[in-house]
């Protein structure tokens, strides 16, 4: 079975920037607190005209251009998101239409901040079994629409953006070596948007109670993340006979600089080998890994034959890692 490999990437963030200083005027917080506790300095916020599919479209167009492909060349399109344009139709179907990807099946996938890796694993499975040849995977979020701008414990964390990757069967040894996905639904209440689904449908009351906003038990989530990510990354390396020194780059989900640093330290990886861009974008959930990956590729931080490790952690709870030979 041929491996699946990423042949091109793309990314897009909205133009508007919201800095920590701007947030100081909105809630009781300081640039110092946000920087020390999270590493975030600013984040991008979608305009009122931009929805999830618009961000995904811009990132996907860039990936297609880089690959020298058109929408009609795609067989499958997966959008990982928790902030879809609307409940129905799927954002992936809206994207399919805009890209002119008439030959592609399209669906959304929700695994929160781990969404891009869950989608990557899905794309890989379709490619390695031979069902589809060319798959576009996008992680796209407009978290600003699910943010309670009066809740300082969450509103300083999130940002909007999108990243995309195109996968094809590999010709040689390059590509996805392994992907591991994990979930623990018993801890779902650590990070949730309680309203807007069939449990608590949208009503005047649900809006009044703020049930359509992200609620997070930040400290518990933080501890679970630090504990879990070390084992996740070391397990992936060990199973593939590698050491952290074999990695050219670790691309982590950008949730908190302290989580990223703790993971790197625990596995003995110097920070120069870790892609960090949380200061510019905040936590963009499913978009964070593909945005970071695109930055690494365009910045020349990854070259052919390099081992690259991706890891993510998020609501669900879900967590995942992927080992790639570039
Ligand atoms: O994306 C995937 C999943 N998400 C994550 O992995 C996020 C994980 N969690 C975190 O990153 C961190 O827990 C946070 C950044 C959210 C919070 O940092 P923390 O060190 O866990 O702080 P805390 O929640 O324990 O709060 C410490 C103090 C509290 O005050 P008291 O009770 O000690 O007086 C908070 O009220 O900081 C206060 N606080 C703030 N102060 C200024 C909370 N938010 C703010 C704020 N500005 N924005």
> Is the pLDDT score of 1 beyond 90?
no
Distance of CA 57 from the midpoint of ligand 1 (Å): 33
Distance of CA 152 from the midpoint of ligand 1 (Å): 9
The dihedral sign for the CA sequence 256, 260, 266, 270: negative
The closest residue, in CA terms, to atom 47 on ligand 1 is 29
CATH number 3.40.47.10 is the correct assignment for the domain at 4-173: yes
Q: Which of 19, 20, 23, 37 to mutate to test the pocket of ligand 1 (most atoms within 8 A of CB)?
A: 37
List pLDDT tens digits, range 118-170.
999 999 999 999 999 999 999 999 999 999 999 999 999 999 999 999 999 99
Ligand 1 proximity of 113 Cβ (cutoff 6 Å): yes
> CA-to-CA distance for 179 and 120, rounded, in angstroms?
8
> CA-to-CA distance for 185 and 114, rounded, in angstroms?
14
List pLDDT tens digits, range 65-85.
999 999 999 999 999 999 999
> CA-to-CA distance for 215 and 303, rounded, in angstroms?
39
Angle between helices 52-67 and 91-99 (to 10 degrees): 50
Q: If you average pLDDT over every residue of the chain, what do you get?
A: 97
- What contacts 19, CB < 8 A, 6 or more positions away? 31, 41, 42
> CA-to-CA distance for 272 and 279, rounded, in angstroms?
16
Q: Which of 43, 159, 222, 312 to mutate to test the pocket of ligand 1 (most atoms within 8 A of CB)?
A: 222
The catalytically annotated residue of 93, 113, 155, 256 is: 113
The CATH fold assigned to 177-325 is: Peroxisomal Thiolase; Chain A, domain 1 (3.40.47)
pLDDT computed for residue 218 by the predictor: 95
Q: Are 13 and 2 in contact (CB under 8 A)?
A: no
The closest residue, in CA terms, to atom 36 on ligand 1 is 153
Same CATH topology for 4-173 and 177-325?
A: yes
Q: How confident is the model at residue 250 (pLDDT cuts 50, 70, 90)?
A: very high
pLDDT computed for residue 307 by the predictor: 98
Ligand 1 proximity of 256 Cβ (cutoff 6 Å): yes
- What contacts 203, CB < 8 A, 6 or more positions away? none
Q: Is 283 a catalytic residue?
A: yes
Q: Is 313 exposed, middle or buried (0-12, 13-18, 19+ CB in 10 A)?
A: buried
Q: Are 180 and 174 in contact (CB under 8 A)?
A: no
Domain parsing of the chain, residue ranges:
4-173, 177-325
| DSSP letter, residue 300 | T
Q: How confident is the model at residue 8 (pLDDT cuts 50, 70, 90)?
A: very high
Q: Are 179 and 318 in contact (CB under 8 A)?
A: no
Q: For the chain, what is the radius of gyration of the CA atoms? A: 19
Express as a percent the part of the chain with pLDDT over 90. Answer: 98
How many Cβ atoms are within 10 Å of 100's Cβ, its own excluded? 14
pLDDT computed for residue 2 by the predictor: 86
CB under 8 Å, gap of 24 or more: what pairs does 217-225 form?
217/189, 217/190, 217/191, 218/153, 218/154, 220/190, 221/190, 221/191, 222/256, 222/258, 222/259, 224/187, 224/190, 224/313, 224/317, 225/255, 225/256, 225/259, 225/313, 225/319
Distance of CA 317 from the midpoint of ligand 1 (Å): 19
Q: Is 203 exposed, middle or buried (0-12, 13-18, 19+ CB in 10 A)?
A: exposed
pLDDT computed for residue 246 by the predictor: 97
- Total count of residues recorded for the chain: 326
């Amino acid at each position: 079975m041929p491996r699946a490999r990423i042949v091109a990437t793309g990314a897009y963030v909205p133009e508007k920037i919201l800095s920590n200083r701007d947030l100081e005027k909105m809630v009781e917080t300081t640039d110092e607190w946000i920087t020390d506790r999270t590493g975030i300095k600013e984040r991008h916020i979608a305009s009122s005209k931009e929805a999830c599919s618009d961000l995904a479209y811009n990132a996907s167009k860039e990936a297609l251009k880089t690959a020298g492909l058109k929408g009609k060349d795609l067989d499958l399109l997966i959008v990982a998101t928790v902030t879809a344009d609307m409940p129905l139709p799927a954002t992936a179907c809206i994207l399919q239409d805009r890209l002119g990807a008439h030959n592609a099946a399209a669906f959304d996938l929700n695994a929160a901040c781990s969404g891009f890796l869950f989608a990557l694993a899905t794309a890989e499975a379709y490619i390695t079994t031979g069902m589809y040849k060319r798959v576009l995977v996008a992680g796209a979020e407009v978290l600003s629409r699910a943010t309670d701008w009066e809740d300082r414990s969450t509103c300083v964390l999130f940002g909007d953006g999108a990243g995309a990757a195109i996968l094809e069967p590999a010709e040689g040894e390059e590509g996805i070596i392994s992907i591991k996905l994990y979930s623990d639904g018993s801890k779902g209440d650590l990070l949730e948007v309680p309203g807007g689904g069939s449990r608590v449908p949208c009503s005047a009351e649900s809006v009044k109670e703020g049930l359509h906003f992200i609620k997070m038990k930040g400290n518990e989530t933080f501890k679970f993340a630090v504990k879990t990510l070390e084992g996740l990354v070391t397990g992936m390396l060990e199973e593939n006979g590698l050491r952290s020194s074999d990695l050219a780059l670790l691309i982590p989900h950008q949730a908190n600089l302290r989580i990223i640093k703790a993971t790197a330290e625990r596995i003995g990886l110097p920070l120069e080998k870790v892609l960090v861009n949380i200061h510019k974008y905040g936590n963009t959930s499913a978009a964070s890994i593909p945005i970071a990956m695109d930055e690494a590729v365009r910045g020349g931080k990854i070259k052919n034959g390099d081992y690259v490790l991706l890891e993510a952690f998020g609501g669900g709870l879900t967590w995942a890692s992927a080992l790639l030979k570039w």
